[in-house]
Chains A and B, each alone.
Chain A
Amino acid sequence: MPFSQYFRLIDVMARMALRADATRFFLGYIWWVLEPLLWVAVFYVVFVLILAMQKPDFLVFLMTGKLVFVWFSKSVTQASNSIVGSKGLVGKINVPKTLFPMAVVQEGLYRQIAVFALLFSFLLSAGYAVTSTWWYLVPVILVTYVVIVACAFVGACLVCLARDFIQLISLGMLFLMFTSGIFWDVRSLSDPHKTEMVMAMNPLAFIVDCYRQIMMHNTPPDMLHLLTIGAGFGALLCAMVLVMRHKSQYLALRALTA
């Protein structure tokens, strides 16, 4: 399949899924912003009203982390089911298997644009200013995307091999949510070595911290660390493309019969 056709198909499949999703719900496209807004409302009730968190701007801190994490977790979880879930098509046509997780990731990307718009306006209304440091968001978003695609490919293949991985992936997401500093600040750990270790071991914790540093503290991220993550996951992504191309028919057989 030519490159142009491949990318056009991803775009068409993602748009169609979004449209189908919008027609399924009474509120349609409003859910794009309503869902993250409801997240914020839940955080507000739990952390500000009930737990009475004293830390200033805790809501902004939470939103930044959670909304980035939801982008990752939702995309990867849904993409993991994508080949098995498209069994009907997989059994009838020989297309690159990366197409299915890619379409899901693309759908997530389109949704995330609305989420980022909401996040930015929330930050602005909370008194944060857009500075030139915000340009660093471009490489950070790019690296997040590469991480999501690589993990989506790995997840989609694993679920083809055994459906049991669906359970493990959801559990893994929960584990990641608690270890990536979504509800707590990685930098506030009592031992600075521990902070370093968490950031080095968990790329997601580092990425979430990058968004906060740029948008809340006007500080550029550690570019070398960011590029290392980008290059590592980029290499994983390329390897997965090769594996999925080479094992396309095997994946189809597993998706159809397992």
Chain B
Amino acid sequence: MSDNKKRVMIELDNVSLSYHSGKKTFDHGTHHVLNQVSLKLYEGETLGIIGRNGVGKTTLLQLMAGILAPTLGEVRVHPGKSASLLTLGLGFKPDLSGRDNALLAAMLQGATRKRAESFLDDIAEFSELGDSFNEPVKKYSSGMRSRLAFTTALMTHVDVLLIDEVLSVGDADFRGKAQVAMTNRVQGEQTVVFVSHMADQVKQMCNRVIWLDKGRIAAEGDSAEVVDAYTQHVTQARVDGTLQQTALQQQFEAKLQADPKLQAAVKQQIEAKLKADAQQQADTKQ
């Protein structure tokens, strides 16, 4: 396999991450986010990570970027290579203007002030923010925020680009433009890890895909195969969920017909609700 000849940029070796949440909602207060995950990221590839919300995708990227350290196992980054996480929101400071936030983001990622300033005009132009670029970010709509975040992310140059759900936002026009810009960036020599729960996007952009489920790798391999398996799983889960709901509803209806006491209780509740609604409506009119 050609992957063997390629240089490994980042390697995760049996990595687990758990933390003590202080609240006894999990395993005696310990929350297990990732469980014995091993993977290799090769130079020049675009690796997709797919999974539902809360399965540990963002945490995986944070481990790769060195933001977090694993509780167990090891994260090895090729010496001299930098990995940077690009994500929506970018930790904006709401009181600062879009310009200041972009400048700060670029400088935090290692650019000198001069270099960071040289990006600003491009960022203003691509993000189409116009005069709002100099307004505080707290006045931005969520679409404007994501446009700024995406554009700031696009301008950074690092060895490994870790992308977290950046393409799922903005209006249709901007999304198209962003998709083109990102595809240009991803093609070629750039090593990329791309996280999303949008199956089509991952299929289109990635060479290889890892499906993460409940903190573990559920499947890994060719993007089309893994994405199809994931989509099938999600659809099946949805069907199962609907069936379960319908079954519960049917059970309840059967019980209702057989039990006059229950009928009276439900009737009483409905009447109380109708009365409360009517009262509320009258109050609003006054």
Which residues of chain A have a CB within 8 Å of any CB of chain B?
Answer: 1, 5, 8-9, 12-13, 16-17, 19-21, 23-24, 86-95, 249-250, 252-253, 256-258
Contacts and interface: CB of A to CB of B under 8 A. Distances in A.
Interface in B216-230: none
Nearest to B65: A94
B93 A94 contact: no
Nearest to B83: A94
Contact of B85 (A24, A92, A253, A258): A92
B117 to A, nearest CB: 11
A249 B108 contact: no
Contacts of B69: 249-250, 253
Contact of B91 (A5, A16, A19, A91): A91
Contacts of B110: 1, 5
B108 A95 contact: yes
B113 A253 contact: no
Contacts of B112: 5, 8
Contact of B87 (A86, A90, A92, A257): A92
Interface string B25-44: 00000010000000000000
Given A91-B62, A94-B65, 13 more contacts: A5-B112, A9-B108, A12-B107, A17-B93, A20-B136, A23-B95, A24-B95, A92-B67, A92-B91, A93-B65, A93-B108, A250-B69, A252-B68
Contacts of B96: 16, 19-20
A94 to B, nearest CB: 4
B19 A92 contact: no
Contacts of B65: 93-94
A24 B97 CA distance: 12
Interface in B34-63: 62
Interface string B88-118: 0111110110001001100111101100000
Nearest to B84: A93
Contacts of A93: 65, 67, 84-85, 91, 108-109
A90 B87 CA distance: 12
Contact of B136 (A12, A23, A86): A23
Given A19-B100, A94-B65, A88 B136 contact: no
Contacts, number: 78
B21 interface: yes
B68 A16 contact: no
B66 interface: yes
Interface in B233-268: none
B22 interface: yes
- Taking residues whose C-beta sits less than 8 angstroms from the other chain, chain B's interface range is 20 to 34
Given A12-B104, A91-B62, A94-B66, A257 B92 contact: no
Interface in B66-82: 66-69
Given A12-B113, A23-B136, A93-B91, A249 B66 contact: yes
Nearest to A85: B93
Nearest to B61: A92
A89 B108 contact: yes
11 contacts: A8-B112, A23-B95, A87-B91, A91-B91, A92-B87, A92-B90, A93-B67, A249-B68, A250-B69, A257-B21, A258-B21
Given A13-B104, A20-B93, A95-B108, A252 B113 contact: no
B286 to A, nearest CB: 37
Q: Which 8 A-B pairs have the closest CB atoms?
A: A88-B91, A89-B91, A20-B95, A249-B69, A94-B66, A94-B67, A16-B100, A257-B19
Nearest to A163: B22
B136 A253 contact: no
Contacts of B93: 16-17, 20
B281 to A, nearest CB: 41
B108 A88 contact: no
A85 to B, nearest CB: 10
A79 to B, nearest CB: 16
A68 to B, nearest CB: 28
A16 B136 CA distance: 11
A97 to B, nearest CB: 11
Max count, chain A CB within 10 A of own CB: residue among B21, B22, B68, B87 = B68
Nearest to B69: A249
A89 B231 CA distance: 33
B104 A16 contact: yes
Nearest to B21: A257
Contacts of A252: 67-68
Contacts of B19: 253, 257
A91 B162 CA distance: 13
